[in-house]
Amino acid sequence: MSSKPSRRSATFFKHKRCDSSLWKPYPTRREPRIMDPKKINLLRKVDVFRALSDQELRQIAPLVSFHSFSAKQVIYMPSDPRARLYAILTGRVKLTQVSPEGKELVLCVLGEGDVFGELCLFDEGPHSTLAAALEDSEIITIKCSDLAKFMAEEPALVTALGKHVGERIRTLERKLSDLVFKDVAQRLASLLVGLAEDHGEKNDAGDYVVEMKITHQDLAGLIGSTRETTTTTLNQFREKGLIDFQRGRIIVRNIPDLKEQADRHSKE
């Protein structure tokens, strides 16, 4: 593999106006060929494929490619052509919008079993978001042209993808509503509740431990705020005993009070 930076990495660094050491260049390392029985078991980890039969999964298995992405590695760039559906086997991925000035709005953080890039099935235009691994991640991809042919004969997958797209739209609608009607503390409280419920593990003390390599800047991007304001609000939550930080992990100690904070009267 050539050591020359790819167009993708060079474009991103110019777009973001940031230190190139923060992000690792594409392309990803492609995994060795995996036998179909193992592929079928891995496909069952993907939400939209769980309703399919063994026979249907065997039909999809030859279409699948496996890839490894390192933490902070770009998966695709805005304006790249939409050509593949991506599904996360392990790790986490963030989808972001980036302004010409380099300001980032994190649309969502995705984890094991989630899919993204699904708009390639409905729109041939380029990507409008940037996708990047938050941590080391194993991802499978399927060419949308191949998947579209399969979907024409398998209504179960059409239904599953339709449900997934609907859920994604509802999530973005809630995010937009929060950005308009809630203040930073409300938005951050709502985000922390979501991270705890979606990505956290409950420990013996009843706290939710979020094992996620997510920075204060990432959290700020998720709630449409600045890093400084987000850090100040996190420290206020910590002083109230709502959350804590341990070795880079977020410990959510009091979900009921965080929910109350998130749902209090909207800002005028």
Residue ranges covered by each domain of the chain: 36-175, 182-263
Residue that wins the pLDDT comparison between 244 and 163: 244
Q: Which residues pair with 200 in a beta bridge?
A: 210
Q: What secondary structure letter does DSSP report for 45?
A: T
Residue that wins the pLDDT comparison between 146 and 98: 146
Describe the strand order of the beta sheet including 93-98 as a list of residue ranges: 74-76, 130-133, 93-98, 104-110
Q: What is the pLDDT of residues 113-151, one digit of tens each?
A: 999 998 888 877 899 899 999 999 999 999 999 988 888
pLDDT at site 15:
34
Superfamily in which the 36-175 domain is placed by CATH: Jelly Rolls (2.60.120.10)
Q: Which residues pair with 74 in a beta bridge?
A: 132
* Cis geometry, peptide bond prior to residue 27 (ω within 30 degrees of 0): yes
Q: Give the fold, CATH level 3, of 182-263.
A: Arc Repressor Mutant, subunit A (1.10.10)
pTM above 0.75, yes or no: no
Please provide the DSSP assignment of 229-253 as one string: HHHHHHHHHHHTTSEEEETTEEEE-
Q: What is the pLDDT of residues 217-253, one digit of tens each?
A: 889 988 988 999 999 999 999 999 999 988 778 899 9
pLDDT at site 235:
94
Nearest alpha carbon to residue 150 among 58, 66, 46, 81 = 58
> Distance (Å, rounded) from C-alpha 62 to C-alpha 56?
11
Contact 110, 94 (CB under 8 A): yes
Nearest alpha carbon to residue 162 among 175, 230, 170 = 170
Decide if 36-175 and 182-263 have a common fold: no
Report the run of H or E that residue 64 belongs to, with start and end: strand 64-69
HSE of 141, CA atoms in CB hemisphere, 13 A: 20
Q: What tokens appear for 181 in the block?
A: 């009607």
Nearest alpha carbon to residue 177 among 266, 44, 62 = 266
